[in-house]
């Protein structure tokens, strides 16, 4: 299997996992909504003079939770969750010392609830790496959270529209039907 086909296969697996996770969480009283601002991408003109010039571009592909978000697990049992972030190098050169950040906030409290950073030593062109943010078990209870995941721009990167993903997370108490 070619590296490009392997990349697409991995991307589809990640998308499927996110879809399963999000649909399962909706039944459990937790709703995750992608609130990443839509950015229009202008048509790009590639000059023949720029061929061979390295292109620098990183992208946050997907975000998932391990285990999937579950109301009872998170709120009642206070169990920990790991945030998984898939980062792809869509450029043409290997990028080194890449920083990925995750920030959790809530409109109910002005202070940042949680902020973590992680680094990738190197990521090759076309490669997808998953960054794990653990120890997310001691988060104070709120009904609404905002999660923002960012891969910091690397030197020479000009298109930053795919460097961030944002999600609104709403916690709804279980409806017992009584």
For all residues of the chain together, what is the average pLDDT? 75
pLDDT in tens, 119-146: 999 999 999 999 999 866 567 778 888 9
Task: Please report the pLDDT score of residue 39 as a whole number.
Answer: 55
Query: What is the Cα–Cα distance from 168 to 178, expressed in whole angstroms?
Result: 28
- CA 66/CA 115 separation, integer angstroms: 18
- Residue 152 inside a domain? The answer is yes
**Which of 38-42, 74-78, 85-89, 116-120 is least confident?**
38-42
Work out the angle at residue 59's Cα, subtended by the Cα atoms of residues 96 and 137, and round it to the nearest 5 degrees.
Answer: 90
**pLDDT value, residue 150:** 96
Nearest C-alpha neighbor of 163 from the set 50, 92, 61, 67: 61
Q: Identify the pLDDT of residue 136.
A: 63
Please report, for the domain that includes residue 29, its CATH number.
Answer: 2.60.40.10
> Is there a domain that residue 48 lies in?
no
> Among 20, 46, 44, which residue's Cα sits nearest to residue 32?
20
Residue 7 maps to a domain:
yes
Q: Cβ(139)–Cβ(83) under 8 Å?
A: no
- Is residue 6 over pLDDT 50? no
Q: What is the pLDDT of residue 109?
A: 76
- Section 101-119 average pLDDT: 86
Asked if the structure places residue 61 within a domain, the reply is: yes
pLDDT for position 98: 97
49 lies in a domain?
A: no
Contacts of 9 by beta carbon, 8 Å cutoff, 6+ apart: 1
Reference 57, options 174, 163, 176; nearest CA is 163
- The token duo for 154 is 């690397």
- Domains contained in the chain, number: 1
Grade residue 87 by pLDDT with cuts at 50, 70 and 90: very high
Q: What percent of the chain has pLDDT over 90?
A: 37
CA distance 38 to 76: 35
- For residue 95, what are the β-bridge partners? 123
Would 86 be classed as within a structural domain? yes
* 65 is a domain residue: yes
Q: What is the dihedral of CA 144, 166, 147, 154, to 10 degrees?
A: -160
Please report the pLDDT score of residue 7 as a whole number.
45
pLDDT greater than 60 at residue 22: no
How high is the pLDDT of residue 139?
Answer: 72
Q: Is residue 163 assigned to a domain?
A: yes
* Inter-CA distances, 80 with 62, 64, 119, Å: 20, 14, 21
Residue 124 domain boundaries? 3-35+57-171
């Amino acid at each position: 299997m070619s590296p490009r086909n392997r990349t697409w296969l991995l991307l589809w697996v990640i998308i499927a996992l996110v879809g399963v996770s999000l649909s399962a969480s909706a039944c459990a009283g937790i709703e995750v909504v992608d609130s990443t601002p839509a950015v229009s991408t202008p048509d790009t003109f590639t000059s023949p003079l720029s061929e061979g010039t390295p292109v620098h571009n990183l992208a946050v592909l997907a975000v998932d939770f391990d285990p999937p978000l579950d109301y009872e697990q998170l709120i009642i049992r206070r169990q920990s969750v790991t945030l998984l972030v898939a980062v792809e190098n869509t450029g043409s050169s290997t990028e080194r010392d890449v920083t990925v950040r995750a920030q959790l906030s809530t409109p109910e409290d002005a202070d940042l609830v949680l902020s973590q950073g992680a680094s990738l030593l190197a990521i090759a062109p076309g490669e997808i790496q998953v960054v794990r943010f653990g120890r997310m078990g001691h988060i104070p209870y709120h009904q609404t959270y905002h999660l923002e995941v960012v891969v910091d721009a690397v030197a020479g990167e000009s298109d930053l529209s795919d460097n961030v993903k944002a999600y609104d997370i709403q916690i709804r108490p279980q409806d017992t039907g009584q």
